[in-house]
């Protein structure tokens, strides 16, 4: 079976073609970073317009890359939520309309399920069950995964997501959008130990996250101390360390509570080098394994949507003809495959 995947939930237009026997045949991605950089963040209306301009040309490019066409497809998967409603509507309307016109099924995919299953695109795949840390600009959650569609949310952010806190702190440090990766780069020049920030909600039971207080602590320190570049680097180092330590503590707690030895990290922040190294060391000490997608599949992309859509297509879970988006869509409400 072969499926076309369309991702348009925020500021990346991702298109991919996936074959259940041959694997990933094509992967096209357009980032809107330059479009939103002058505004310091994503402007929803501009994001929607850019998806309108880019989606069809990227689909054509994916067909050319894969050496196939519409007649070779068995279905189309598109991101139906969660995300920006206008951006979701673009991918949903194009994906659903093409599926209708080509006479093939359409599959509505949950964006976070796509991230959660992204490590399955690698040769070294995790086996069920595993604990997943989904950490991005819009979401931070801990999930027990017993199978596809069998998700138990163990904890999630009660305010800012980790990636959002990264971006907002980076902006306070005077870094351009998107700030998270730039803050991580600045942190490599920071002096360890000069500043210490709190590790929120680690001193109490539970697996929920909160990063607004950490962001405020960083903001106060930047106002008081952040006059020179070395100080800013030291603050960036302390901030990143606090986020990484917090995530690691929560992961260890989730693994102990569930008795599971496999950990998956996915989402944009999973590309953070310090986070990967920290979790790898932790899992070695726990005699377990950590899995994550290659860097290009950490951020939003069509490949993860195509893979997730393929699993639901093979299970006969198709989208109806009406075009529905779900800007808010609980992960644990998905149907089991």
- Could you report the per-residue pLDDT of 187-210, keeping only the tens digit for each? 999 999 999 999 999 999 999 999
Residue 44 has pLDDT above 90, yes or no: yes
The mean predicted confidence, pLDDT, of the chain is 96
Q: How many C-beta atoms lie closer than 10 Å to residue 22's C-beta?
A: 10
C-alpha to C-alpha distance for 332 and 104, rounded to whole angstroms: 28
Is 115 part of any known ligand binding site? yes
Helix locations, the chain, DSSP H: 33-37, 44-66, 85-102, 111-117, 162-172, 179-187, 212-225, 229-258, 273-285, 302-314
The model's confidence at residue 131, banded by pLDDT at 50, 70 and 90, is: very high
Residue 178 pLDDT: 86
C-alpha to C-alpha distance for 20 and 310, rounded to whole angstroms: 7
Q: Helix, strand, or coil here: 201?
A: coil
Which tokens is 20 given? Answer: 């259940």
Is 272 part of any known ligand binding site? yes
Residue 77 has pLDDT above 90, yes or no: yes
Is 134 part of any known ligand binding site? yes
Residue with the larger pLDDT of the pair 39 and 108:
108
Residue 278 has pLDDT above 90, yes or no: yes
Domain boundaries, the chain: 2-117+297-333, 126-292
Q: How many C-beta atoms lie closer than 10 Å to residue 44's C-beta?
A: 15
Which tokens is 320 given? Answer: 């109806």
Is 74 part of any known ligand binding site? no
Closest CA to 62 of 301, 315, 331, 316: 301
CATH superfamily of 126-292: ATPase, nucleotide binding domain (3.30.420.40)
Is 111 part of any known ligand binding site? yes
Is 208 part of any known ligand binding site? no
Q: Summarize the confidence of residues 26-41 as an average pLDDT.
A: 94
Residue 137 pLDDT: 85
Closest CA to 164 of 80, 253, 267: 267
Is 167 part of any known ligand binding site? yes
In this prediction the pTM is 0.96
Read off φ and ψ for residue 78, nearest 5 degrees.
-140, 155
Residue 138 pLDDT: 86
Residue 3 has pLDDT above 90, yes or no: yes
Residues contacting residue 160 through CB under 8 Å, at least 6 positions apart: 168, 210, 211, 212, 215
Q: Summarize the confidence of residues 37-57 as an average pLDDT.
A: 95
> 49-87 burial, b if ≥16 CB within 10 A, otherwise e?
bbbbebbeebbeebbeebebeeeebebbbbbbbbbbbbb
Question: Could you tell me which residues are beta bridge partners of residue 215?
Answer: none
CATH superfamily of 2-117+297-333: ATPase, nucleotide binding domain (3.30.420.40)
């Amino acid at each position: 079976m072969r499926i076309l995947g369309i991702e348009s939930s925020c500021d990346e237009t991702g298109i991919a073609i996936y074959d259940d026997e041959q694997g990933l045949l094509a992967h096209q991605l357009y980032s809107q970073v330059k479009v939103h950089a002058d505004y310091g963040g994503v402007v929803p209306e501009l994001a929607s317009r850019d998806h309108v301009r880019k989606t069809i040309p990227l689909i054509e490019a994916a067909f050319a890359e894969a050496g196939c066409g519409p007649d070779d497809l068995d279905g189309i998967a598109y991101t139906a939520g969660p995300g920006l409603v206008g951006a979701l509507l673009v991918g949903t309307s194009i994906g659903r309309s093409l599926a209708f016109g080509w006479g093939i099924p359409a599959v509505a995919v949950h964006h976070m399920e796509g991230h959660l299953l992204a490590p399955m695109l690698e040769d070294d795949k995790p086996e069920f069950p595993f604990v997943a840390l989904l950490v991005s600009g819009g979401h931070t959650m801990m999930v027990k995964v017993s199978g596809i569609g069998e998700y138990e949310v163990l904890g999630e952010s009660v305010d800012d997501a980790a990636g959002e806190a990264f971006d907002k702190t980076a902006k306070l440090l005077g870094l351009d959008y998107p700030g998270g990766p730039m803050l991580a780069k600045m942190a490599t020049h920071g002096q360890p130990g000069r500043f210490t920030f709190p590790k929120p909600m680690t001193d109490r039971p539970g697996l929920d996250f909160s990063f607004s207080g950490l962001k405020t602590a960083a903001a106060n320190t930047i106002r008081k101390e952040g006059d020179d570049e070395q100080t800013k680097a030291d603050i960036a180092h302390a901030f990143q360390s606090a986020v990484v330590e917090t995530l690691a503590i929560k992961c260890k707690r989730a693994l102990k509570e569930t008795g599971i030895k496999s950990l998956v990290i996915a989402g944009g922040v999973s590309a953070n080098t310090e986070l990967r190294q920290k979790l790898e060391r932790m899992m070695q000490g726990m005699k377990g394994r950590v899995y994550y997608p290659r860097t290009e599949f950490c951020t939003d992309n069509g490949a993860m949507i195509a893979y997730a859509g393929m699993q639901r297509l093979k299970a006969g879970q198709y989208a109806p003809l009406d075009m529905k988006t779900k800007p808010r869509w609980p992960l644990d409400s998905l149907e089991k495959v």
